[in-house]
Amino acid sequence: MPTIVRETKETQITITVARAARPEAPAARVDTSAPFLDHMLVTLARYAGLDLDVRARGDLPHHLIEDVGIAFGEAVRTLAPATAARYGDRTIPMDDALVHVSLDLGGRAWYAGRLPARLYDHWFQSFAYNARATLHVRTLRGRDRHHVVEAAFKALGLALRDALAESGVVFSTKGAVSLTSVERGASSVEGAPGDA
């Protein structure tokens, strides 16, 4: 059950995430002081089947949303077992909105997407880079920004549920990848799914 604590002059964030013991009823406790962000994180946890506890404060909405994305990405990266299924691909309709999310937790950070809400598009980018995930988000349709963003979080949640599932094998021709920081002498990524 990874806990990530991120503190800067701009934000103070603590995130604990775990695969829910009861995936049909995950527990989410979220308090970021930003009601829409809270709603999106609770939604994400529900669809991903994750128990999630988030406590966050920030000086500006941009810093808060970005840094929560960073910390959540770090938490997911440490949560993924070497034998994770790796891939998730979901399309979610929500009224006028139709959003497709394709995800690979294989260790290659990449984000391609465009949401009609700049701050939340940045959240997805921050998440992808810090989870070391390849993440493609496509808005296929949608006029209402709230619906588009919420559909994206739901699609990401379901894609995460699939990608984090235990497969029993390492889904990579390279096997499990281990990176060691010589400066610190400690592994920064151990047993992560391969990047091929």
What is the Cα–Cα distance from 158 to 119, expressed in whole angstroms?
22
Least reliable range by pLDDT among 38-42, 96-100, 103-107, 182-186? 182-186
Strand (E) or helix (H) holding 162:
helix 145-164
Q: Which domains does the chain have, with CATH numbers?
A: 3-192 (3.30.230.40)
What pTM did the predictor assign?
0.87
Tell whether the model's pLDDT for residue 180 goes beyond 70: no
User: For residue 40, what are the CA distances in angstroms to 18, 128, 166?
Assistant: 17, 16, 25
Residue-by-residue DSSP string for 26-67: --EEEE-S-HHHHHHHHHHHHHHTEEEEEEEEESSHHHHHHH
CA distance 157 to 103: 10
CA dihedral (29, 166, 135, 24) positive or negative: negative
- Length of the chain, in residues: 196
Given a cut of 80, is residue 191 above it in pLDDT? Answer: no
More confident residue, 59 or 166: 59
pLDDT of 85-118, one tens digit each?
999 999 999 999 999 999 999 999 999 999 999 9
* φ, ψ of residue 133 in degrees (nearest 5): -115, 150
**Apex 133 CA angle, 56 and 123, nearest 5:** 35
Query: Hey, what are 79's tokens?
Result: 């949560």
> Is 184's pLDDT higher than 60?
no
How much is the CA Rg of the chain, to the nearest whole Å?
16
Which whole-number Å values give the CA distances from 107 to 89, 119, 121, 180, 182, in the listed order? 17, 24, 21, 14, 19
Q: pLDDT value at position 23?
A: 80
